[in-house]
Structure 1
Amino acid sequence: MYTVKINFEQKGLDPVILTNIESDQSLLEVCLDNNIELHHNCGAVCACSTCHLYVNKGTELIEEISDKEEDFIDRAVNPRIESRLGCQCILLSGNGGGEIEVTLPDQTQFLGE
């Protein structure tokens, strides 16, 4: 089981800590299942960059980045070395879980919010 801490760049949103998160799901799915908005215009198939997030801790607990994902991260707003796409960050199974910490960029830049 995993613990996922979600920080927000958007002003007025406090960090959220999610516990007892099971493996074999993406960080995008974890967010959506817990009513945390993370845009995903392509439907979570690694064809855009709207589910862009920053993995601050626990990169060893998620699937490695692919070349395709890297290409789309280059198109994201404010990419950093710790940038990933939430739809591609699958929580690994068989390692006993652990702690992951991510930061969601300000989502107000999308869809005229």
Structure 2
Amino acid sequence: MAKIVKLDPIDEETAIKTNDNLLSGLLRNELNVLQECGGRGMCSTCHIYIKEGMGSLSPLNRREKRTLEVITTCKMNSRLACQARVIGEGVVIELPSGMYLSEIEDIDALIGRRAQQDILHPLSGKVLVEEGKLISRSMISQLKDTRGEIKEYLAKTEDYSY
């Protein structure tokens, strides 16, 4: 049976099947969620805030807890949409402001422009470029390092299941 989940601040509702993760609802609403780790709970690109209904979600697992510990914008109501499964009604989620960039081509197109919103690190959620600041070529080297970090992290964790 489907549960209705409200998405803030866009004020939309989506139906998510009981025991499906919140990420499926975000993707169904055509929200651009990167899933840098492939939905395995090892990055920050599907980080969300639960405004209401935390008790209507599955408990945090060990992997999600470890990942949330490194997300710089993590709060008490933070969850990873790929790990949080809907088990009840009344869930209201808020998408953090900011934009995750994972491809060098994305940055190339933005060099020399001012960031329209914060640009965030895909693993930690750390702000790489603040809103209104100039995007420089040094972002490319930071992103190359990030891609290496992600591949290394995923390689280390492939054999572990939680």
Task: Answer whether TM exceeds 0.5 for this pair.
Answer: yes
Deviation at 1:62, TM superposition (A): 1.2
In structure 1, the residue matched to 2:65 is 70
Deviation at 1:67, TM superposition (A): 2.3
Q: Say if 2:91 is the partner of 1:100.
A: yes
- Name the Cα RMSD after superposition: 1.7
- Which of residues 55, 60, 64 in structure 2 aligns to 1:60? 55
Matched, 1:3 2:4: yes
Q: How many residues align?
A: 102
Bigger radius of gyration:
2
Q: What letter is aligned with 1:55?
A: I
Higher relative contact order (CA 8 A, sep 6+): 1
1:17 counterpart (13, 23, 30): 13
Residues 50 and 76, structure 1, Cα contact 8 Å, conserved in 2: no
Q: Deviation of residue 77 (structure 1)?
A: 3.7
List structure 1 segments (4+ residues) > 6 angstroms apart after TM superposition: none
TM-score (norm 2): 0.57
Q: Is the 8 A contact 1:55 1:103 kept in 2?
A: yes
Unaligned ranges ≥5, structure 1 = 9-13
Contact (CA 8 Å) 1:38, 1:107: kept in 2 or not?
Answer: no
**TM-superposition CA deviations, 1:24-78 (whole Å, max 9, x none):** 2110111102212222100001121211001111111111012221110122241
Q: Going by fraction, where is helix more abundant, 1 or 2?
A: 2
Separation in structure 2 between the aligned mates of residue 104 and residue 38 of structure 1, nearest angstrom: 10
Q: Distance in 1 between matches of 2:85 and 2:62?
A: 16
* Deviations, residues 86-107 of structure 1 (Å, cap 9, x unaligned): 0001112xxxx41210001124
> Which residue is equivalent to 2:34?
39
Are the counterparts in 2 of residues 40 and 51 from structure 1 also a CA contact under 8 Å?
A: yes
